[in-house]
Amino acid sequence: MKGYIKLESGEIFEGSIAADTQEEVYGEIVFFTGMTGYQEVMTDPSFHGQIVVFTYPLIGNYGWNEKDYESIKPQPAGLVISEASPEAFHYQAKQTIEEAAYKAGVPLIKGVDTRALVKSIREKGDMGAVMTTSPEKTEVSSYQPIGEQMLIDEVTVREPVTKGEGDHHIVLLDFGYKQSMVESLVKKDCKVTVVPYDISEKELADLEPDGLLFSNGPGNPKQLNGLLPRYRKLAETFPSLGICLGHQLMALAFGGDTEKLRFGHRGANQPVQDTHTNRVFMTSQNHSYVVKENSLPKGEFAVQFKNINDGSVEGLSHLKHDIITVQFHPEAHPGPADSEEIFDQFLEHLKKKGREKTYA
């Protein structure tokens, strides 16, 4: 049957949708530029509450498998595709992308002019939108803006979960983490304990971590302003790595500021430069907010990474404490593995801290 995407701007785009889809689904409409990696995108908690438009014209040709999950279920509010492959051309595929979305209860509209839709988003910015079967009855303004919704509570773990065994114990504060982050650290002989984002200092200290990882996640980082003093104290106590939302939270905790991009960076081909070495590498990214460089207090952070396209801050290194932050995803799922060495830099901080304890 006919389905529609009605934007906050009033524009309407038509496609087709499963007949038994609920009448209205609201979300922030964003676009992802990667040619592949749709399963990782669909299960990434950072996309929770968003309607994701895939810019590549054909999505789903290698199907859906049991391996490439970033969380236990698909996370977006909805999906928008130009053409969905009716078959899955891979021997490990268990179902098509449409079957996977339908099974998960995620509405999918196909046959949409995604080129025109993305041009509108680029011009007007990320905005609220409704997937509907009755656009004339739909008012996007009647929904609570996505920036005001506390989405992290819907994706964080409720109790600590430990994975792997190894020489270093890393506690991951979960704002909506990707499973591939944990897998990357476990492969590097780490034990990782995933904990709720609002864990108390005592509960965390009782876990006796060697280091902390502040994870990615959905929403506006300033919604966590009340917890920033706690995060700062923890990062000053333990070697810490912040990724995506975790990067933004570290900047805020130490006195910096963040702002929302007109349309975010979402794709597997974002060029980033290391300001220390001038080396440029490609990264996987998914974020709406960025750290404002001119807001960083003197004597706290140095900007280590910058986005080649727009000059935005892509990573920080603290001048006094063992803290590294990156806006991109070093676990590279989906995307290139150029920046995986960030985990090695983090582990060097842990080893250094261990040596200091040994000889103290």
Does one domain contain both 18 and 70?
A: yes
Tokens linked to 107: 């509405």
* Catalytic option among 28, 169, 190, 244: 244
**Cα–Cα dist 179/185, whole Å:** 10
Q: Is the pLDDT of residue 162 over 70?
A: yes
Strand stretches in 185-251, DSSP E = 190-196, 211-214, 240-243
Domain carrying residue 89: 2-144
pLDDT tens by residue, 43-98 = 999 999 999 999 999 999 999 998 889 998 889 999 999 999 999 988 888 899 99
Residue 141 is encoded by which pair of tokens? 């303004």
Boundary-marking domain end, from 144, 168, 189: 144
46 is in an annotated binding site: yes
Residues 10 and 119 in one domain: yes
- Establish if 215 belongs to a structural domain: yes
Task: Name residues whose C-beta falls within 8 Å of residue 279's C-beta, 6 or more positions apart in sequence.
Answer: 273
* Residues 43 and 185 grouped into a single domain: no
53 in a structural domain: yes
E strands, 33-174, in order: 50-54, 58-59, 78-80, 83-84, 108-110, 127-132, 161-163, 168-174
Neighbours of 105 (CB within 10 A): 11
Whether residue 360 is contained in a domain is answered as no
- Domain-embedded: residue 358: no
DSSP secondary-structure letter at 339?
Answer: T
Last residue of a domain, which of 124, 144, 164? 144
Task: Classify residue 359: in a domain, yes or no.
Answer: no
- My answer on whether 129 and 177 are in the same domain is no
Check whether 60 is labelled as a binding-site residue: no
Q: Are residue 338 and residue 295 in the same domain, yes or no?
A: yes
Is 299 annotated as contributing to ligand binding?
no
> Whole-angstrom Cα distance, residue 267 to residue 144?
27
Catalytic residue from among 247, 329, 333, 349 = 329
CATH number at residue 38: 3.50.30.20
CA–CA distance, 324 with 314 (Å, rounded to integer): 11
**Element (DSSP H or E) covering residue 124:** helix 114-124
111 and 175 together in one domain: no
Residues 181, 244, single domain; the answer is yes
Residue 190 annotated to the active site: no
**Which tens digits make up the pLDDT trace of 177-222?**
999 999 999 999 999 999 999 999 999 999 999 999 999 999 999 9
Same domain, 192 and 136: no
Number of domains in the chain: 2
Contact 320, 298 (CB under 8 A): no
235 within a domain of the structure (yes/no): yes
CB-based contacts of 75, cutoff 8 Å, min separation 6: 42, 43, 44, 45, 46, 47, 48, 155
- Asked if residue 310 and residue 194 are part of one domain, the reply reads yes
Which of the following is catalytic: 48, 331, 333, 349?
331
* 248 assigned to a ligand binding site: yes
How many other CB atoms are found less than 10 A from the CB of residue 104? 15
Query: Are residues 254 and 159 part of one domain?
Result: yes
Does residue 24 form part of some domain? yes
Bridge-based pairing state of the strands 108-110 and 12-17: antiparallel
Q: Which of 93, 126, 144 is the last residue of a domain?
A: 144
Specify whether 265 is catalytic. no
Residue 92 lies in a domain: yes
* CATH code of residue 173: 3.40.50.880
233-283 per-position pLDDT tens digit: 999 999 999 999 999 999 999 999 999 999 999 999 899 999 999 999 999
- 155 and 140, same structural domain? no
Top-confidence residue, 277 or 354: 277
21, 130 contact by CB (below 8 A): no
* φ, ψ for residue 231, nearest 5 deg: -65, -40
Residues 6 and 55 in one domain: yes
